[in-house]
Amino acid sequence: MAFQLVQEFKFEKLQYSYDPRGDVLDISFGPPAPAIALQVEDWLAVRVRLNPPSLQGMTIVGFKKISERINRYAAKELPKRMRRLARVKISIAYDDQSDTLVMRWEEKTTFLHKLLNKLSFQRPGSPSVFEPLIRQTGSATSAVGQTLANVYVEKTVPFNEIAGIKILQYTKCGEAAVEGIFGAIIDTIFEPSREQDENVHLIANAVVARLDWRKLAAAAV
């Protein structure tokens, strides 16, 4: 298999702005530029730049209400996460022989992390395992289950952290799988009482954990 890098996203140039009257938060990965929205849900849009194709940013309509629902203890629990998001790099690679897409995210390590890794004898390129995103139980026969049947998560060993996502049969199932992943994350965040798989929880936690809701909320004053 020869995976070729398709796209790489860095969030170092992250900018954000909050309009308190409209309760709209605009996050831009670089200076604002013309883009078209991929509407994930009615409150969340991912903005995609056309030339060249790349991730431009996100718009959250009703930010204050939404952030309070995601984590009402955000101010206490989640400091410095915007800075953490700025350290994330997402790379997407595709192998046309196996028709497989792999998305991985990495975080630039701080001096403290490097020190801790050394102390715990963790080495760069530490092992990981792939697991199905959802358990192959009764839910696999549902529409959502079928959509996500080709989605696997990459988890680090032994820390069990999400390192990436792999989508098999990408040309056939990729679009539906990406939709399914977004949907599963949102359902996990907003409808925690519903039965959800551990791996979906881990991905949702990874997404929420990388946003500094306190700093965003501070911008919303």
Number of residues that bind another protein (CB under 8 A): 36
Range in contact with another protein (rule: CB under 8 A) among 76-84, 115-123, 176-184, 210-218: 176-184
**Nearest to another protein of 31, 127 (CB atom):** 31
Give the shortest CB-106-to-another protein separation in angstroms. Answer: 26
DSSP the chain: ---EEEEEEE-TTEEEEEETTTTEEEEEESS----EEEEEETTEEEEEETTTTEEEEEEEETHHHHHHHH-TTHHHH-TTHHHHHTTEEEEEEEETTTTEEEEEEEEPPPHHHHHHHHHTT--TT--EEEEESS-SSGGGGSHHHHHGGGEEEEEETTT--EEEEEESSHHHHHHHHHHHHHHHHHHHHH-TTS---HHHHHHHHHHHHTS-HHHHHHHT-
Q: Which stretch binds another protein (CB under 8 A): 25-33, 111-119, 137-145, 151-159?
A: 25-33
Tell the burial category of 17 from Cβ atoms under 10 Å away from its Cβ (0-12, 13-18, 19+).
Answer: exposed
25 vs 93, beta carbon nearer another protein: 25
Length of the chain: 221
**Between 67 and 150, CB nearer to another protein:** 67
Is residue 24 a contact residue for another protein (CB under 8 A)? yes
The two three-digit tokens of residue 5, written as one number: 């890098």
Residue in 8, 12, 13, 22 binding another protein, rule: CB under 8 A: 22
Binding window for another protein (CB under 8 A); candidates: 3-11, 17-25, 139-147, 198-206: 17-25
Site for another protein in 66-125 (CB under 8 A): 66, 69
Work out which of 8, 12, 13, 65 binds another protein, going by CB under 8 A.
65
Task: Please state the closest distance from residue 24 (CB atom) to another protein, in A.
Answer: 5
By the criterion CB under 8 A, which residues form the site for another protein?
17, 19, 21-24, 26, 28, 32-43, 45, 47-48, 50, 57, 59, 61-62, 65-66, 69, 179, 182-183, 186, 190
